[in-house]
Amino acid sequence: MTAPKGNALPPFKNEPYADFREASNRKAMEEALAAVRADFGRERQLLIDGRYQRAAATFQSLNPSKPSEVIATHQKASAEQAAAAVEAADAYFAVWKKAPIADRAGMLLRLAAIVRNRKFEFDAWLVFEAGKSWPEAEADVCEAIDFCEYYARRALLLASPDPLPQLPGEKDEMRYIPLGAGVVIPPWNFPLAIMLGMTTAALVTGNTVVLKPSSDTPTIGSKFVEAVLEAGFPPKCINFVTGSGAEVGDTLVAHPKTRFVSFTGSKEVGLRINELAAQPRPGQLWIKRVVAEMGGKDAIIVDSEADVDAAAQGVLVSAFGYQGQKCSACSRAIVDEKVYDEFLEKLKAKAEALTVGPASDPANYMGPVINQRARQSILDYIEVGKSEGRLICGGSEASGEGYFIQPTVIADVDRGARIFREEIFGPVLAVTKARDFDHALELANDSEYGLTGAVYSHNAQKLEKARDEFHVGNLYLNRKCTGAMVGSHPFGGFNMSGTDSKAGGPDYLLQFVQAKSIGELAG
């Protein structure tokens, strides 16, 4: 499939979400869950240099809603296999970079169609392997489709940049050319959307990729690679390597033929990748480019002039959607003292009404956290929080075999508290009282992170001040701080939240190309 040239494609629009209240969608999802469950337990392989292969050791991916259930067996690649993947990607780059941009964009549009046609199947994999509720899984898959459609259009525009002013007697132009072989390391919390977005942005601009998915969600990575190949991308343009981040990840990042690293994950891992990538290796010809999107400690300000009901609902869904396991999740509610008690009362009632249990059951609003290590870390933070504030609701595990935790709200939290400052990445919300709007803004900015934030207020002057002074990459006014939409909300943060690459925005593909200026003396 070749994409139309120029502006022949219809304007981009976001993929509509399936409404699971409709009987037909509900039935289709139930059938997809049954079909995917029947596919559990398979052994999946690496893809290196266009060939599937095994490793000497394997590991298992588990269902966090039911850890006794094995989703799939995956290969634990060796450092040698990781190095071979980079070598293969580097070798094929000379071929792939010459593919016409219209052909690459056409493959990306074909991938969008494949994911769209298999939407409920991908939803089901996200429910089982990532512990996402039906609506959260649907949002993830729709975002993946959006990335395909949006980046295909942006790639075609990038191939025809605005003309340069012409020096008299010359023909002057600028071209955007791909970087080379890159390493893509996506997170487990958006295991389809972010993985697809990072990978396809690199591929459509003419780079080759070594994809190393999270060890918590490798099956979704494997299914994604199958779709990429089905869409017509050559097998050698994408290598798929699963295994230990400490062994495989370090090898991929440090390899002298790795030209760039695109990473989404924790601050600690992101900083280590940046440090490793900054060290030149023998034979390395370039400064490696690192695109790192990391953590957040996101705040929602509730002003004295806010709609408190709307604010409580916005904080609720921002804090507890997907169990708080989003880098954009609200983990701090900073509330004006004039509406503080009213807000807490409304939030407590809403939080206590949330249902927790297996993600495959659509009656549950919250599913499990991703693994036992995460559950224990979150529970430890809750114990710290109980000594740093006043427990309003939650505060312990929820019943069931899975990694379930109650939605937890801790009030009266001081700005020096650990649960105010440290990223917890779970269903734990700290609520802090502010004297007034200026104090609330000061508290919100008192963080090493700067990813998302929101303000609830009917005062236009205060909203304008937030536009100017709330130091986050994605600011939302009178709405929740999660749910960035491709195209409308280019996504990326400041400070320790990363390199602010603005995924899903008009500048994102520039992360994967370099500009070549050409001046020709007119004959």
| CA 438/CA 470 separation, integer angstroms | 11
Asked whether the beta carbons of 84 and 48 are under 8 A apart, the reply is: yes
Given 293, 393, 423, 481, which residue is catalytic? 293
Question: Is 148 a catalytic site residue?
Answer: no
Q: Strand 390-393 vs strand 57-63: parallel, antiparallel, or unpaired?
A: unpaired
The residues near 198 (Cβ < 8 Å, ≥ 6 apart) are: 184, 186, 262, 264, 291, 503
The residues near 500 (Cβ < 8 Å, ≥ 6 apart) are: 473, 492, 493, 494
Q: 140-172: buried (b, 16+ CB within 10 Å) or exposed (e) per residue?
A: bbbbbbbbbbbbbbbbbebbeeeeeeeeeeeee
290: Cα separation from own chain's centroid: 16
Neighbouring CB atoms inside 10 A of 280's CB total 12
Both tokens assigned to 64: 């966090």
| CA 151/CA 147 separation, integer angstroms | 6
Dihedral Cα 487, 489, 491, 495, nearest 10 deg: 150
Half-sphere exposure of 426 (CA within 13 A, CB side): 31
Question: Is 293 a catalytic site residue?
Answer: yes
User: Residue 210 in 3-state DSSP?
Assistant: strand
Given 142, 148, 237, 327, which residue is catalytic? 327
Q: What angle do CA 56, 62, 68 make, to 5 degrees?
A: 110
**Which positions are catalytic?**
293, 327
